[in-house]
Amino acid sequence: QIQFQQAVALSRIYSNDLTKKLEPTEEEIQAYYAAHPEMDPTAARQKAEDLLKRVRAGEDFDKLAKENSDEPGAKESGGDLGWFGRGRMVKQFEDAAFALKDNEISDIVESQFGFHIIQRLGTRQGKSEPNPMAEGDAAKGGEPEEQIHARHILIKPSAGPSQNPFAPPK
């Protein structure tokens, strides 16, 4: 038991030292992005900022979403997400969308999916959808809730799911 405890303590110390040694420097990160520009989040953010300027300048949101969004369904829908209530989208997206007024366009919103430009189209009182993860009445749905109609443009930081940085080299 004592030898096991010593081994655990030593492995934690070694792990901490190794983690510090393997932490990439800023120069190494920049060199990686230079060699793999498709993985650089700053390029994706810049593209999203350029699109936001175009939308705010009056270009058609629907057309820009169809041409530029990395969301698979946006090519047909123009980024239209339909009506939804709280708890249906990722938190960062939902917070930004519900904070907008009707016909207002958000700043760039970052989520685990990438960079979003959101346009809130309308607001209504609707009925909540059934939620199998909830308990009691919330699981049944049908409760009155505020719903919004929105659309978005999504720009992903990488070229797509086939670009796995942890995959073996091709």
pLDDT at 164: 54
pLDDT at 133: 55
Q: Which of 127, 118, 126 is nearest to 154 (CA)?
A: 118
As a whole number, mean pLDDT of residues 50-74 equals 92
- H helices present in 41-80, as ranges: 41-56, 61-68, 74-77
Whole-structure pTM value: 0.68
As a whole number, mean pLDDT of residues 61-75 equals 90
Q: Specify the residue for token string 């960062």.
A: 92
